[in-house]
Structure 1
Amino acid sequence: MPNNDDYNVKRIQQMLLEMARGNFFFSLEPSAKNDNVASLIVMLNMVNEEIRASFVHQGFAQSGDTPQYLVQLSLLLDADGTIEMANQKTCSLLSRLPKDLIGKPITELLSKSSRKLWAKQWRRLLKKEQSDAVVPLELTTGDGLIVRKEFNLTTFRTLQGSTKKILMDTVLFSKGEPFGKGLWKHALKVSKGTESPKVRLSQKDIRMIRDVHDMIINNLDRDLPRLRELALQMGTNEFKLKYGFKQLYGTTIFKFLTQERLRKAKTLTMHTSLSLKTIAHMTGFKSIPHFSRAFKEKYGQPPSSLRK
């Protein structure tokens, strides 16, 4: 793939256009150079990833912007790794016509770094009659952008039993149309099970919980106070804070803190040259072993494996 300044500037321009359209699916392949353009690519990837993650999280609290639709990216491969089928969303997302995909080896779509991982995983998948694996891969678009996602790889045989196939698919969030007006005219009811007392969240309560969310995001390097103390600071009670947060964001406050620390740590590991010790400190982990253990539990591999 070309890696000169003109080509990189065109990729940056295309990336900015996609972001302006509200499309945060893409990223840019890092430049081999160490100059201002390369630095801009790194920063743009980081900003895009932060916006994409924030968009998904904020959507749960700001229902008018909730991601309501899922984009399914699916490819069917034969035993040689040749693409036999691609759904319409895949063609659209990769900016390629069906004829540009069907009959082509999947390696033509993969970034350089993903080809090595693919070769390793491909041999492992073919050894089994039936298998499922989740592999982080980078697909390149016709415009030179990157779709970076974890793909499900499912190996199976056809009805005749003589031909082996692999289904390669993933799901991405897409911003849907706003919900109807007047959604917040009624308070949101939150309950834990059928026998627990119910809590009614007003618009003020929802704004308060979103403030807690933002406080966590902006202070990942610091430990949270106890929930009772945090609730008092925010002018509410512990029960309403706990269950209100879980209703809006689908998880507990401390689990959310951990997943956001790991998400930021992954971004810094992939897109900066900071040491893992510095990254661990910046994201609130007390030690490298604690950081590595939590990272591997979340992503299935230690942070050092993301360094190229």
Structure 2
Amino acid sequence: MNYLNTRAKQIKTMILEMAKGNFNYQIPRTGENNETEAIAASLNMLAQELRVSYNPFIFNAPADSIFKVRHYLFLINPEHSILSTNFDLDAEPTFVDQNFLHLLTPASKKIFKKRLKQLLKKQYPSVPCRLELRASNTLNVPLECTLFKLRYGAVAGNFLVVASRIQSLNPLLKEDASKKEYPIRKLEALKNTRDIQNIQDVKAYLQDHPEDRIASLKILGVRFGLNEYKLKKGFKELYQTSVFKYQLQQRLHKAKHLIRSTTDPLSSIALQTGFKSYVHFGQAFKKEFGVAPSQYRKMHQ
């Protein structure tokens, strides 16, 4: 019981941290192999994915707009009534005690019911979906969601909807918004827009071909019109990570996708994603996501 109480508190802390936009928090892992650990691993992986996809650095935004990401939680019971939420809109002062289905568009109701059945029938720790909430008669709010079934503590039997809302701010407010919400770091290695574009091309290449072997930063830099210094320092300035760490991250995310979407042997997936051996792959995967590749496949079968 002490174990479950401790893990429940840690999971609650994780959810609250994510609600505040902190995706660096991770639930400490244990050696247990049960549903509680599966939920902890899923939340850790969700935070990892949100951290990768959400980068408020202004150079990643299109030239004519700036994006802002907001995160919401809906705690709902088996009858779909909202028990608690941090979601609010001017058009609707409160959603508590309302039926969650009544807030969805007709198409989203079908999607939500289908995903909920998958969550219950196949015992997934979580399922993703894209839903639209009806904020008014003319306005729909798109949300990228992940559904969880809560199994322990006072909230056992209820469901948690973790949602992200991506907003595009008025381009006319770009200058003011960038000062208030998107602090721009001073660039030292990158001197002009061409350098920045070259670094972005390197990132795109690593995303598309994470399995490729990089002989050296010098050789990679020549391919994209950069010297070794600009590539090494410039990539870190733009993306707050090194070229090799980013490549490893992309390899692991590609491997995670292949594990979920194919029946390829794990040893084959390791080679497909650029790892020299399954042992190295397994160690890197567990360090990044908190579970071994074999456990992750079982969680998503």
Q: TM-score, normalised by structure 1?
A: 0.52
Query: What is the match of residue 279 of structure 2?
Result: 289
What's the CA shift for 1:247? 2.3
- Listed as ranges, the matches of 1:47-58 within 5 Å are none
Deviation of 1:234 (Å): 3.0
Of 265, 287, 294 in structure 2, the residue corresponding to residue 275 of structure 1 is: 265
For 1:246 and 1:141, locate their aligned partners in 2 and report how far apart those are by CA, in whole Å. Answer: 35
Aligned pair count reads 215
Query: 1:152 touches 1:170 (CA, 8 Å); kept in 2?
Result: no
Deviation at 1:209, TM superposition (A): 0.7
**Aligned counterpart, 2:61:** 63
Unmatched 5+ residue regions in structure 1? Answer: 1-51, 120-134, 158-162, 192-197
How far 1:54 moved relative to its partner? Answer: 9.9
1:284 shift after superposition: 0.6
Query: How far has the Cα of 1:55 moved from its partner?
Result: 7.5
* Aligned residue number for residue 33 of structure 2: none
2:218 aligned residue? 228
Superposition map of 1:111-126 within 5 A: 111-115=116-120
- Partners of 2:100 and 2:190 in 1: how far apart? 54
Q: Percent identity?
A: 24
User: What are the residue-to-residue correspondences of 1:184-203 with 2, within 5 Å?
Assistant: 190=186, 198-203=188-193
Structure 1 residue 230, shift from structure 2 partner: 2.3
Q: Is the 8 A contact 2:56 2:68 kept in 1?
A: no
Q: 1:53-132 to 2 correspondence within 5 Å?
A: 61-64=59-62, 68-76=67-75, 83-86=82-85, 87-88=87-88, 98-101=98-101, 111-115=116-120
**What residue is the counterpart of 1:174 in the other structure?**
166
SS of alignment partner, residue 285 of structure 2: helix
State the alpha-carbon separation in 1 of the partners of residues 261 and 254 from structure 2.
11
Give the TM-score normalised by structure 2: 0.53
Are the aligned partners of 2:81 and 2:100 in contact in 1 as well (CA < 8 Å)?
no
Alignment partner of 2:70: what SS? Answer: strand
* Alignment correspondent of 1:263: 253
Q: Is the 8 A contact 1:64 1:179 kept in 2?
A: no
CA separation in 2, counterparts of 1:69 and 1:290? 37
- Distance in 2 of aligned mates of 1:80 and 1:118: 19
Aligned-CA RMSD value = 4.8
Q: Write out per-residue CA displacement over residues 39-71 of structure 1, whole angstroms, 9 at most, x where no aligned residue.
A: xxxxxxxxxxxxx99986798644326762223
CA pair 216-166 structure 1, distance change in 2 beyond 3 A: same
1:218 aligns with 2:218: no
- Assess, with a 3 A threshold, how the Cα gap between structure 1 residues 249 and 142 changes in structure 2: closer, same or farther: closer
Q: Name the counterpart of 1:243.
A: 233
| Cα separation, partners in 2 of 1:84 and 1:150, compared to 1, 3 Å | closer
1:274-295 per-position Cα deviation (integer Å, ceiling 9, x unaligned)? 2222221111111222222222
Name the CA distance, whole Å, in 2 between partners of 1:238 and 1:152.
Answer: 49
- Determine if the alignment matches structure 1 residue 303 to structure 2 residue 287: no
Closer, same or farther: CA 148–167 of 1 in aligned 2, 3 Å: closer
Distance 1:110 1:276 in 2: 27
Q: 1:245·1:253 contact (CA, 8 Å) conserved in 2?
A: yes
Shift of residue 138 of structure 1? Answer: 3.8
Alignment-derived partner of residue 196 in structure 2? 206
